[in-house]
Amino acid sequence: MNDNKTQVRVIIPASAEHIDLIRLTLYGIATKLGFSYETIEDMKVAAAEACNNAVLHAYGDHEEGEIEVRFEWDDDSFHIVVKDEGRSFNFREHADGREASLEGRPLQELQAGGLGIYLMQALMDDVQVSTASGTEVTLTKRLERNEVLT
Ligand SMILES: Nc1ncnc2c1ncn2[C@@H]1O[C@H](COP(=O)(O)OP(=O)(O)OP(=O)(O)O)[C@@H](O)[C@H]1O
Ligand SMILES: [Mg+2]
């Protein structure tokens, strides 16, 4: 993390009712950074999809778990990092133990089932996944030209 980077972390219980807190925090930070209303709405949808995946796929129905969301930004870009410590992506089971080599690869190379990941890719400038421990999804948006950093 370079010196100009700011980080805000929010940890929520992994349940659907708490995802609103991520949307609200994201709204606050993205507004402060000067993102347009449309871009903020797009980022809210993408972040909610990542959180939903953690709620639905990482932890079982009766398992306790947490989702950590880090908001990180510098002069160039804004990152939303959604991390869980639950079961990881199904593709690991199909990867014949090659999961380490999947680390950091673009998501389009991974076997993904539903719409959530495609939506994240469509709405953000970049989407990366790490499965080193649980799942960590990094959603990136470049700062828009006339955004003023405070
Ligand atoms: N945080 C996660 N933990 C474990 N597995 C995950 C996680 N995120 C995604 N996955 C796996 O990746 C698959 C694809 O996710 P994606 O969001 O694209 O589709 P979906 O959640 O199955 O359906 P949809 O989002 O359209 O309701 C999931 O079905 C799940 O197997
Ligand atoms: Mg999903």
Q: What is the mean pLDDT of residues 130-134?
A: 90
Ligand 2 midpoint to CA 13 (Å):
18
Domain count, the chain: 1
CATH number, position 76: 3.30.565.10
Tell me how far apart the terminal alpha carbons of the chain are, to the nearest angstrom.
18
- Does 3 map to a domain? no
Q: Is residue 1 part of a domain?
A: no
Residue 150 lies in a domain: no
Is the beta carbon of 28 within 6 A of some atom in ligand 1? no
* 118 within some domain: yes
Judged against a pLDDT cut of 50, whether residue 98 lies above it is answered with: no
On the question of pLDDT at 42 being above 70, the answer is yes
| 126 belongs to a structural domain | yes
Q: Are strands 77-84 and 6-13 parallel, antiparallel or unpaired?
A: unpaired
Q: Which residues surround ligand 2, an ion (CB under 5 A)?
A: 53, 116
pLDDT tens per residue across span 54-97: 999 999 777 889 999 999 999 999 999 999 999 877 434 433 33
Cβ contact 51:82 at 8 Å? yes
- 66-73, strands of its sheet edge to edge: 6-13, 66-73, 77-84, 135-142, 126-130
Q: Is 116 in the pocket of ligand 1 (CB under 6 A)?
A: yes
pTM for this prediction: 0.84
**Structure confidence by residue, pLDDT tens digits, 23-38:** 999 999 999 999 999 9
In a domain, 72, yes or no: yes
Which helix (H) or strand (E) covers residue 66, if one does?
A: strand 66-73
Q: Does residue 5 sit within a domain? A: no
Domain extent for 78: 11-142
Whether 18 is in the pocket of ligand 1, judged by its Cβ within 6 Å, is: no
Is residue 93 in some structural domain? yes
